[in-house]
Amino acid sequence: MIEFITFEFMSSQNINIKNKKARFEYEIVDEFIAGIRLLGTEIKSIRESKASIAEAFAVIQQNEVFLRNAYIEEYSNGGHFNHEVRRDRKLLLNRAEITKIHKKLKTKGFTLVPLNLFVNDKGLAKVRIGLAKGKKIHDKRDSIKDRDNKRALDRIKKNFG
């Protein structure tokens, strides 16, 4: 009798590092999911959830997209092979997506912001980037008002439900 053993790689750990300020500061027009070109110690730090994309942004250089200012902490067991904490990391997108992003970025007011950094079920690090336009002050006030109204509604539902 043959028994098959299956392994679920990284499915027990759900790594999802969010950029909470992005949706408040910007109006997201379009979203893309891109792979990230990382070093070995970087992916190990991400799997330990020791990363931040709060101050990060993406740029296009020579028809390639790079993630700048993303903080990935040095791996604790890395030794002298550790990576730089804030270095440019190449995002892996196909040519059609890059040209679409490039056309939108040429128009005034658009920027490319990372929304969240996650590890998929295959164990690969991915980043969701959003093509965004900056919000005005009154738009931010509307966002705060909507959030407060939703919170109040949830409280009412909880008390009567």
pTM for the model stands at 0.76
Tell whether 155 is covered by a domain. Answer: no
Domain membership of residue 128 as a residue range = 16-135
Q: Can you give the CATH number for the domain in which 124 is found? A: 2.40.280.10
Establish if 151 belongs to a structural domain: no
Confidence at residue 13, expressed as pLDDT on a 0 to 100 scale: 63
Supply the pLDDT for residue 12.
45
pLDDT means per 10 residues, the chain with 161 residues, are 48 75 88 91 86 91 92 82 85 93 88 92 91 82 87 89 67
Domain annotation covers residue 5: no
DSSP the chain: ---------S-SS--EEE-HHHHHHEEEEEEEEEEE---HHHHHHHHTT-EE-TT-EEEEETTEEEEES-EEPPPTT-GGGPPPSS--EEEE--HHHHHHHHHHHHSTTEEEEEEEEEE-TTS-EEEEEEEEEEPPHHHHHHHHHHHHHHHHHHHHHHHH-
